[in-house]
Structure 1
Amino acid sequence: MDTVNFICECCGQQHEGWPALTYNSPNNYHWLSSEEKEEIAVIDEDFCVINYPEEVDRFIRCVLFQKVKDHCEDLEYGLWVSLSEKSFQDYQDNFDNENHEAEYFGWLSNDISGYEFSESIPTTVVTQKGNSRPVIFPHESFNHSFVKDFHEGITKAEAEKRIQNMIHATQQNS
């Protein structure tokens, strides 16, 4: 596992850092055929737009910090959320504005390993000063095991298992 050594602000001891668990695209883009990706979709590091004949789907890249109960470091995810046209346009218009602060309603648009997703999870998307990626917070009232884990935290062993699973999946897809 690729790690980075750092002195923890929480306990003052040296730790090795965890890699972020990142998704390169929202599910909707991933599921498109190669031809559809060329013809109806546009994606870069921060934005994805899919122009279906009957609708347009808009996505932005965000981060989610999963609390780890028995460790000083959170597990970081790089995820995508879908936004309404109005919210997407506001975020895009203010993308280079370092002082822009806003909250949007969004839908989680990645299936996270280890969880079953029969429907998308509602989130609050919070932009960050300084042009950092927005942070997402799953709605606590939504009944899903990922939401429960987000709000209650996971163990260090579970976090490391998720990292190993992501590394293994990435190596298999290479």
Structure 2
Amino acid sequence: MTGINYDCAHCGEHHDGTDGSVESPWPALGFRRPDPYLELDTHSRRFHALANNDLCLIDRARGADCFLRAILPIPITGEEATLEYGPWVQISRICYDDYVDHYDDPDHREDYAGQLATAIPGYSGTLSVPVQVCTRGSQRPLLVPDSTFGHQLVRDFYEGIARTEAELRIRSMLLPAADL
């Protein structure tokens, strides 16, 4: 396959022929909100949830569900390149409050237990995948799936995927989708 062309939502530029290298990175495959937020009706979103590009809280009768956006890199077999997903992860309220308290601290390093809160295309049952959430100062946290959890996403994280598979995934997510 040839390089991937895309319009970057982050910098606003058009990128031609990206190959996943440091000099010409692929786009991160991001998700606007966690799946539980997307499942809310309009009233619940308006009156019982708060969300921005990095954080999300949903008030429930039993307490708040807390989410943050992170990075999940999938290595490309035999290369330095990675396919980066930008999924949401659910963490405890205590961890969420700690993360928010240190949000602007460039030296903050902490690990939290979490669970994916985004259905990742091409994988079934990703909402059940346990992860370690590793904060990295001012960068989005890095996710590390539990190596003992039997799931294809976990295997791909530790073993990698082929370049052609990564490019197919990127191209499929870059296809225009109907606004609902």
Cα RMSD of the aligned pairs, angstroms, is: 1.9
CA contact (8 A) 2:20 2:81 kept: no
- Where does residue 155 of structure 2 map in the other structure? 148
Report the number of matched residues: 166
Within 2, Cα distance between the matches of 1:100 and 1:17?
A: 26
Residue 38 (structure 2) pairs with residue 30 (structure 1): yes
Aligned residue number for residue 124 of structure 1: 132
Instruction: Letter of the 1:158 partner, please give it.
Output: E
What corresponds to 1:161 in structure 2? Answer: 168
| TM-score, reference length from structure 1 | 0.88
Is the 1:123–1:139 Cα contact (8 Å) retained in structure 2?
Answer: yes
| 2-structure distance, mates of 1:107, 1:86 | 15
Whichever structure has more strand as a proportion of its residues is 2
Indicate the SS of the match to 2:66. strand
Give, in whole Å, the separation in 2 of the partners of 1:164 and 1:25.
21
Quote the offset at 1:173 in angstroms.
2.7
- Equivalent AA in structure 2 for residue 109 of structure 1: A
Seq. identity, % = 33
Check if 1:50 corresponds to 2:55. Answer: no
The Cα shift of 1:60 comes to 0.6
Q: Secondary structure at the match of 1:112?
A: coil
The runs of at least 4 consecutive aligned structure 1 residues that moved more than 4 Å come to: 4-9
Asked if 1:172 is matched to 2:180, the reply is no
- Any unmatched runs of 5+ in structure 1? 10-14
Scaled by the length of structure 2, the TM-score of the pair is 0.85
The 3-state SS of whatever aligns with 2:128 is coil
**3-state SS of 1:133 partner:** strand
Work out whether residues 67 and 150 of structure 1, in 8 Å CA contact, stay in contact via their aligned partners in 2.
Answer: yes
